Structure 1
Amino acid sequence: MRIFHIATAADWDEAQRTGAYTTSTRGVTLEQEGYIHASRADQWEGVRAAFYADVTEPLVLLEIDTDLLEVRVVEEAPAPGMTETFPHVYGAIAPAAVVGVTPLGQHI
């Protein structure tokens, strides 16, 4: 299965250098949150609009092949007030599991 994660270009560059992507979401680490937020193909644009609209640094969309992950992915129940489930990655993402990187630019 393919899932998606919005990352800053700087965080993705760091992951390639260290061998592990560990940013859960904007400004929050995997260690702080316990998992990495991800989206399905039909969800990432809404996530970008809701949580990254004011970001001025370059963003990239990571396309992750879950078959290549060495950690589990769980489709979580909706958050309070939400109806959609979202995939969460319970561990660091190895750059080898990222099969596509698309620059998103700075603005929607």
Structure 2
Amino acid sequence: MTIYHLAEPHHWAAAQESGSYTQSTRGRTMEQEGFIHCSSAQQWPAVRRAFYADLRDPLLLLEIDEDRLVEPPVVEVGNPATGETFPHLCAALDPAAVVRVTELLPPHDGSSTT
């Protein structure tokens, strides 16, 4: 199964050099948050709108193969109001588990584009 993570290019570049990705979400590390936030294919566009809408630089969509992870993701409630669950990584992400990286261009008219 594939899960997704939104990454800023400089964090992904650092992970490729170090062999370990530890950014949880925008402005927060795994150490600060306790895990790395991930999403399903259906969830990542809403996450992008909610947390990255004001970002005017490209963003990267990391496609992660769960079978390549050191530890499987933990599925937890991410929104108590709706009960919606999200996959979380409780260990640093090995870049080798990322099977595809897609650059997401910033929206020009307020809409999401890829």
TM-score band w.r.t. shorter chain: over 0.9
Where does residue 88 of structure 2 map in the other structure?
Answer: 88
Amino acid in the other structure paired with 1:39: S
TM-score under structure 1 length normalisation: 0.94
Match of 1:67 in 2: 67
Match of 2:4 in 1: 4
Q: How far has the Cα of 1:3 moved from its partner?
A: 0.1
Give the deviation of 1:13 after TM superposition. Answer: 0.6
Cα deviations across residues 17-69 of structure 1 (Å, max 9, x unaligned)?
A: 11011000000001111100000001000000111000122210000001101
2:50 aligned partner, one-letter code: A
Aligned twin of 1:103? 103
With normalisation by structure 2, the TM-score equals: 0.90
Q: Which amino acid in 2 is paired with 1:76?
A: E
Identity over aligned pairs, percent: 54
Larger RCO (CA under 8 A, 6+ residues apart): 1
Provide the residue aligned with 2:25 in structure 1.
25
Q: Alignment RMSD, CA only?
A: 1.0
Unmatched segments (≥5 aa) in structure 2: none
Are positions 1:51 and 2:51 aligned together? yes
CA distance in 1, matches of 2:26, 2:82: 20
User: 1 CA distance for matches of 2:103 and 2:87?
Assistant: 22
Which structure has the larger Rg?
A: 2
Bigger mean CA offset, 56-65 vs 74-83 = 74-83
Q: Which runs of 5+ in 1 are unaligned?
A: none
What is the letter of the counterpart of residue 104 of structure 1?
A: L
Following superposition, which runs of at least 4 residues in structure 1 exceed 6 angstroms of deviation? none
